[in-house]
Amino acid sequence: MAERKNARISIDRDIEVSPVDERIFSSFIEHLGRAVYEGIYQPGSRFADEDGLRTDTIDLIKELKVPYVRYPGGNFVSGFKWEDSIGPADKRPHRIDPAWGVVETNEFGLHEYMNWTKKAGVKPMYTINLGTRGVEEAKDLIEYTNIRSGSYLSDLRRKNGAEDPFDIKLWCLGNEMDGPWQMGHKTAYEYGRIAHEAGRMLKFVDPTVECVACGSSNSSMPTFGEWERIMLEESYDTTDYVSLHTYYGNRDDNTPDFLASSVDMDNFIRSVIATCDYVKTIKRTNKTINLSFDEWNVWYHSNEADKKLEKWIQHPHQLEDIYNFEDALLVGSMLITLLRHADRVKIACLAQLVNVIAPIMTSDTGAWRQTIFYPYMHASTMGRGTVLNTAVKVDTYESKYGDAPYIDAVAVDDEENGNLTLFAVNKDLKDDYSIDMDVRQFEGYEVTEHILLTGDDLKAVNTEEHPDTVAPVLCKNSKIEDGRLVSLLPARSWNVIRLSRKA
Ligand code: AHR
């Protein structure tokens, strides 16, 4: 029999974690599978504009209010020559991409990406190849993108149709260079050296850029910790952010363990902060390195299908995870975890954005929202403001990551617009929770909405034929009583509770 349990949430308007950096809601498009081709670019499609860009996915990306999109990889970038992706599209070389076992036509390249960012209302975050290439590429690329004119490569950009510089300000120094699967895989020392020199080169040319150095590909890497220490010892002066990547999957069909993965993510963040601060200490510097969690998501549904893919074909259906309801719950908890660390996590990218492990799927006949679209959209559109230190007093359960709380929650105070938003996941598969939060500091505020994503079927999915099987609804589960917010969080639920200043 289901019971109702209780939890207490405490906030204090003066005890802030940090203002939210909007870049925490960023995403990622790699030249992989149908992310670019058929995802954001499909000339001839009935959804394509005059540049071949899919307007239906642009509309959904705007709904998500995505601030930055990392590009062009991912593993792909470690064998990529950016020069292949400029100039007349029909003259660009077709190349093999050994990372994903496919052929890349380069039909969509740097100029097309920059044009797309403008139309999609996002900013660029560009990754350079530090696998098979290095410092010289960094120099050439930033001359091409950020110098106005008067040099060979800046004039080549103008000749190729872009009079104004692209002015890319956020650069990733390679991708997952700690991973033995990576083309041009390096030791921490080798990587630290090349990242430092490539970053220095970018900053020689444009001192206003910021650089993200590769941290570990996940917290289970045998080199985790030492990798960050060693590479930061070599690159501290040029590095602004250290990257973290992680993907989770419910491979053993153990939902409580799966939902506890946010505990692992939280530990991962704490460990990387500690390592950055250790290097800060031994460097005797005032500079603090922040975190860029530039790949995170659920990824496992497509693993078996991908093993059977034919090699060296163009943009196959690859990494096309179809997300279910429980995935949306974990994505909600991961967003809460990122927000709770808003003082140090300044950038984060849901990996990825369209078709490839993505919130948005496309076919020739349309585009639709996967289950994970909803928590991402809610956090991105309503999670801007200042994160308040949010203490949650609730029962825990044992999981493979240690004790996991049944409720994950975080409150964001958007004082300017008069909104207080509480994001909360109830991971209890059986029982509802009644939560109670003192909101007397928010005098004059009223509950304006409680958005709920819940359901009985943890494995329910959205498809093109049935796009709304898993979709949020508005409910009346929240009220303010004697200065306290009292809400009912149903078992297995993602909740967005919004209080707004009365007009
Ligand atoms: O996002 C899919 C892949 O996951 C990326 O290419 C790589 O960086 C990571 O291993």
**Residues 228-238: tens digit of each pLDDT:** 999 999 999 99
The residue whose two tokens read 């200042």 is: 386
**Dihedral sign computed on CA atoms, order 277, 282, 288, 292:** negative
Ligand 1 and 75: CB distance under 6 A: yes
200 Cα–ligand 1 center, Å:
26
* Rg (alpha carbons) of the chain, rounded to whole number: 23
Ligand 1 and 73: CB distance under 6 A: yes
Task: Using DSSP, state whether 65 is helix, strand or coil.
Answer: coil
- Residue 481, pLDDT score: 96
Architecture of domain 21-382 in this structure: Alpha-Beta Barrel (3.20)
The structural domains of the chain, with segments of one domain joined by +, span: 4-12+388-501, 21-382
Rounded to two decimals, the pTM is 0.97
Cis peptide before 352 (omega within 30 of 0): yes
Question: Distance (Å, rounded) from C-alpha 404 to C-alpha 310?
Answer: 41
| Ligand 1: nearest atom to the Cα of 181 | 10
Across 366-381, average pLDDT: 98
Across 119-148, average pLDDT: 98
Question: Distance (Å, rounded) from C-alpha 442 to C-alpha 419?
Answer: 9
User: How crowded is residue 363: how many other Cβ atoms within 10 Å of its Cβ?
Assistant: 12
Torsion of CA 410, 414, 419, 424, to 10 degrees: -10
Q: Which residues are CB-neighbours of 102 under 8 A, at least 6 positions away?
A: 96, 311, 312, 313, 314, 315, 316, 318
179 Cα–ligand 1 center, Å:
10
With contact defined as beta carbons under 8 Å apart, do 313 and 102 qualify? yes
- If you take atom 7 of ligand 1, which residue's CA is the nearest one? 74
Q: Which of 325, 435, 457 is nearest to 391 (CA)?
A: 435
Ligand 1 and 74: CB distance under 6 A: yes
Question: Distance (Å, rounded) from C-alpha 257 to C-alpha 245?
Answer: 19
- If you take atom 1 of ligand 1, which residue's CA is the nearest one? 351
Ligand 1 and 490: CB distance under 6 A: no
If you average pLDDT over every residue of the chain, what do you get?
A: 98
Ligand 1 and 174: CB distance under 6 A: no
Question: Distance (Å, rounded) from C-alpha 30 to C-alpha 484?
Answer: 46
| Ligand 1: nearest atom to the Cα of 176 | 8
Across 271-285, average pLDDT: 98
Q: What is the 3-state secondary structure (H, E, C) of 375-410?
A: HHHHHHHHCCCEEECCEEECCEEEECCEEEECEEEE
Ligand 1 and 178: CB distance under 6 A: no
210, β-bridge pairs = 170
2 has pLDDT over 90: no
- Residue 4, pLDDT score: 84
Q: Which two tokens stand for residue 196?
A: 């430092």
**Residue numbers annotated as active site:** 176, 295
**Residues 83-111: tens digit of each pLDDT:** 999 999 999 999 999 999 999 999 999 99
**Residues 188-211: tens digit of each pLDDT:** 999 999 999 999 999 999 999 999
| Ligand 1: nearest atom to the Cα of 76 | 6
- Residue 1, pLDDT score: 62
- If you take atom 6 of ligand 1, which residue's CA is the nearest one? 74
503 has pLDDT over 90: no
- If you take atom 8 of ligand 1, which residue's CA is the nearest one? 74
- Residue 48, pLDDT score: 98
Burial class (CB in 10 A: 0-12, 13-18, 19+), 402: exposed
**Residues 240-259: tens digit of each pLDDT:** 999 999 999 999 999 999 99
Percentage above 90 pLDDT, the chain: 99
233 Cα–ligand 1 center, Å:
25
Provide CATH code, domain 4-12+388-501: 2.60.40.1180
Percentage above 70 pLDDT, the chain: 100
